[in-house]
Amino acid sequence: MKKENKTQYVLLGLLNIHPQSGYDLKNNIQKTVGYFWSESYGQIYPTLAQLEKVGLVSKTVQKSGRQRQIYSITAKGRKILKQWLQTPITLPKIRNELLLKVFFASSIPTEVSIKHIAAYMEQTQQLHGILKQIEKIILQHPQYNPKKPYNLLTVQFGILATGAEMTWCKQALKKLQSI
């Protein structure tokens, strides 16, 4: 079975908010969905070209100052995005390097695993703090609509997930330190 290219839906979703250049899309991915979804320029530009080829986005050249290519979602692109948003989800395949290293750690000194977990916990605490700040901003933002809490829901998922990861790290460190 061919793996579906989800990059197209990330781009269509962001272009559904407003027209953007490839550079703007990359920056907006990092600032919004980047906490749970990543895309590289190497994925963005070829996907934009493909989306334009099949008529899901259109491109205009903006010549004020430096020349920029601005992409907009088409009616056909909105239709495809809406169809995808309504399809059932599949559970994500987890790829966690820390867990992979912990699984095979019996062949290295315990102190190495302790360092890995402590570093992971520190990074997770930082992300948890950022997500809490974003949650606060969303709730204080005058345009936040409690009837449409979609952005808030994704941030709160991240807060709970990072909280669970920090709990696991504390338990794992305690267990390994007692060895």
Q: How confident is the model at residue 5 (pLDDT cuts 50, 70, 90)?
A: confident
Of 8-17, 28-37, 80-89, which range is least confident?
Answer: 28-37
Tell me the per-residue pLDDT of 82-128, one tens digit each, with 9 for 90 and over.
999 999 998 988 889 999 999 999 999 999 999 999 999 999 999 99
Q: What order do you get walking across the sheet with 68-73 strand by strand?
A: 20-21, 68-73, 57-62
List strand residue ranges (DSSP E) for the chain, in order.
20-21, 57-62, 68-73
Per CATH, which fold does 7-85 belong to? Arc Repressor Mutant, subunit A (1.10.10)
Which pTM does this prediction carry? 0.83
Q: Encode pLDDT of 41-75 as tens digits.
A: 999 999 999 999 999 999 999 887 788 999 999 99
Taking the C-alpha atoms of residue 170 and residue 157, their distance in angstroms, rounded to an integer, is 20
Amino acid at site 67: Q
Evaluate the CA torsion angle 15, 20, 26, 27 in order and state its sign: negative
> Confidence class of residue 2 from pLDDT cuts 50, 70 and 90?
low
Q: What is the pLDDT of residue 24?
A: 95
Rg of the Cα trace of the chain? 20
Amino acid 101 reads: K
What is the pLDDT, as a whole number, of residue 81?
97
Q: Which of 15, 17, 107 is nearest to 58 (CA)?
A: 15
Q: How far is CA 177 from the centre of its chain?
A: 33
In angstroms, rounded to a whole number, what is the distance separating the alpha carbons of residues 142 and 173?
A: 42
Which amino acid type is present at position 2? K
Domain ranges in the chain?
A: 7-85, 97-177
User: What three-state secondary structure class fits 120?
Assistant: helix
